[in-house]
Every structure is written in C-alpha cells, then in structure tokens.
Homo-oligomer: A and B are copies of this chain.
C-alpha cells in the first residue's frame, strides 16, 4: 500500500509509492538539446549581455572584456525591470502593478562546458559568495522584499542557455510559497519555542535512513516528505535563517557539499536536468526570520507534473526518499 506523508512545515501531503518504487534506470531522461547559437556568456562575447554588475576578474583586465572568473549581469530579457514605481492598483475585482524588480544572471565560470561538478572547490566558493554579494546589493533597494536565487540545469528544467549559470530575481513582494514556509516555521516556533528545521535535522541525523552525506557544518538528505523523486535538501547544521549570514568557516564546507551532492545526482541518474533553489528569509521585512532556517532544495527533473498535481497541490512520489538516499549515499564519485 502507498503511504501518505504530511509535510510538517507547509501541511502538504504527498503519496509515496512504497510498493513499486521507481529506481534510477526506470526514468526516461531527456537529452540536453539546446538551440545552436552564439553564447552570450563565453569570454569574448561580453558585449552580448548588458554591462556586468559584479565580477571577479584578473587584475589589469577591463570590465566587460575577457579575464573574468565569475560574472554577474542583468538579464537581457528580464521578467521584471528595475526602473519605475510599483504603482499598485485595482482593476475591478483584480489587483495589478507594474513589473518592478530585478533579474540578473551569474555566469559561474568562463568555460562553456564546465558544470558545478567540474569546477574547483574555490570556484564553487566564488559562485556562492557572488550569490551573497548580489543578494546583499539588491537588498539595498528597499522596494525589494525577496531575493530568489535559483538554477535551471538542462532544457527540461527550463534552461534556455547551455553555458552554466544561476539566476537571481528580486521581487517587490514575498512569494506565496516562501510565505507559506515562513508561516509554518513561525507557528511551530511559537508553539515549541524551537526551530522546526533544527528538529527535522535532529530526527534525520538520528534515523540515518534519509541522510546522503554530511560534513562539519552541513547535512545533505532526501526529505521525508519529498515532492519529487531524488529530491535533496542541503541544510546548515547551525540555526540561521538568512543565507548571506553563513560564516567564512561555513563557506568551503557549503561549496564542498553542493559539489559532492550534484556529482552523486549526476552519477546515479545519468546527468539529469535539475533545478535548485536557495530558500532563505525575506529582506527589508522585519520579524519574518523567527524559526526559519535557510537551505538549498535540489530537484532532479525525472517525472512530469500532471493533472493530479496541478489540481491538488499534492505530489505522487515514485521513489521513496529512503531508497533515493541509499542510491545517492552509495554512489561512486
């Protein structure tokens, strides 16, 4: 019989197929086929993007020219733009506003064919530091309430460019999914006077069944209430709500475990498309941090979302996280 499991943070139920679980070879993976095009993120093509907003580059090299190691630029086709006022207003029964926000892209390395798993540890650290530098800079704009950092890898995960990159979107409101998570964590905190994520970590480290790997400051696990097969969360062991408050000692360990986990996902699932998202507290919004605990959620793209999921908000999970964690834990990397 399948199992129904309830997420204690957001209250979401998932249906876990414990009876006929899908194993790594059972998934049909799509090829990573991109439209052939001149790459705007390759060195020499810096003119193809808007001017860089932050960069780590060799001394004596000019802005917007080769010689960079990691480069942040505004998105050429932004979902939201930084100029203008929100001008929020009604339209009959509806609400609308101008699409004010920011949309940036971070090219992780000058090399077109180097994914995170191919980078040096120092390069992954630079990438994570750049996430923070851009977040902190964008948070200086008091109109923004949330900075969403996410990566789409592979066309079936929504990537339209092949050159490895991460996106940042600054939003003038706290997104619905984030608010739900914050509220869930906050109400647990008020009830128990403890962080729900810390309690989850304690239980998981004790159980061991869903743990993939850990180091001094971080744990990678398949969550008990996964929404997707082989979903992975990377959580800091020390309670901290805001991603950019991670310490200098934590940074190398964070880079190490991210690279390690992505290498396991790649090995076990034959280089699948995936999304990862940094879950962190809002900015310019006091009192929203209580009981929250930042973390990274990695979601390999192995199945299709169908009518049932759209209608219910429930998920059918074809691989129990216990089995997924075992495969990832035992991966040869």
A16 closest partner in B (C-beta):
B99
Does more than half of chain A's interface fall in helix, strand or loop, or is it mixed?
mixed
> When the two chains form their complex, are residues B98 and A311 in contact, meaning their CB atoms are under 8 A apart?
no
Task: Return the contact of A94 from the options B5, B84, B277 (Cβ within 8 A).
Answer: B5
Whether A1 is near chain B, meaning CB under 8 Å from some CB there, is yes
Contacting residues, chain B, for A299 (C-beta < 8 A): 310
CA distance A276 to B308 in the complex (A): 9
Whether A307 is near chain B, meaning CB under 8 Å from some CB there, is yes
Whether A96 is near chain B, meaning CB under 8 Å from some CB there, is yes
Whether A135 is near chain B, meaning CB under 8 Å from some CB there, is no
Whether A63 is near chain B, meaning CB under 8 Å from some CB there, is no
> Which of A37-45, A152-160, A238-246 contacts its partner?
A152-160
Copy count, this protein chain? 2
Contacting residues, chain B, for A84 (C-beta < 8 A): 1
Nearest-Cβ distance from residue A27 to partner chain B, whole angstroms = 13
Whether A119 is near chain B, meaning CB under 8 Å from some CB there, is no
Whether A264 is near chain B, meaning CB under 8 Å from some CB there, is no
**Which of A176, A178, A224 lies at the interface centre, i.e. has the most chain B CB atoms within 10 A of its CB?**
A176
Residues A148 and B306 in contact in the complex (CB < 8 Å), given A95-B5, A99-B1:
no
Contacting residues, chain B, for A20 (C-beta < 8 A): 77
> When the two chains form their complex, are residues B314 and A175 in contact, meaning their CB atoms are under 8 A apart?
yes
> When the two chains form their complex, are residues A314 and B176 in contact, meaning their CB atoms are under 8 A apart?
yes
Residues A277 and B311 in contact in the complex (CB < 8 Å), given A94-B8, A304-B158, A306-B157:
yes
> When the two chains form their complex, are residues A275 and B152 in contact, meaning their CB atoms are under 8 A apart?
no
Whether A70 is near chain B, meaning CB under 8 Å from some CB there, is no
Contacting residues, chain B, for A11 (C-beta < 8 A): 176
Could you tell me which residues of chain A, from 271 to 307, have a CB within 8 Å of some CB in chain B? 275-277, 279, 299, 304-307
CA distance A155 to B98 in the complex (A): 36
Task: Return the contact of A92 from the options B97, B203, B225, B316 (Cβ within 8 A).
Answer: B203
Nearest-Cβ distance from residue A325 to partner chain B, whole angstroms = 15
> When the two chains form their complex, are residues B12 and A176 in contact, meaning their CB atoms are under 8 A apart?
yes
Whether A61 is near chain B, meaning CB under 8 Å from some CB there, is no
Task: Return the contact of A95 from the options B6, B86, B275 (Cβ within 8 A).
Answer: B6
Residues A306 and B152 in contact in the complex (CB < 8 Å), given A4-B97, A94-B224, A95-B5:
yes
> When the two chains form their complex, are residues A99 and B148 in contact, meaning their CB atoms are under 8 A apart?
no
A276 closest partner in B (C-beta):
B307
> When the two chains form their complex, are residues A3 and B307 in contact, meaning their CB atoms are under 8 A apart?
no
> Which of A105-113, A122-130, A166-174, A253-261 contacts its partner?
A166-174
Contacting residues, chain B, for A159 (C-beta < 8 A): 306
**Which of A11, A12, A86, A312 lies at the interface centre, i.e. has the most chain B CB atoms within 10 A of its CB?**
A312
Contact with B along A69-100 (1 / 0, CB 8 A): 00000000101110010100001111111111
Contact with B along A303-331 (1 / 0, CB 8 A): 01111101111101000000000000000
12 contacts between A and B (CB under 8 A): A1-B81, A2-B80, A4-B98, A5-B95, A8-B94, A13-B173, A15-B79, A91-B224, A94-B224, A146-B312, A157-B307, A158-B307
The 9 closest A-B pairs by CB, nearest first: A158-B306, A2-B99, A150-B307, A175-B312, A177-B313, A176-B313, A6-B95, A277-B311, A275-B307
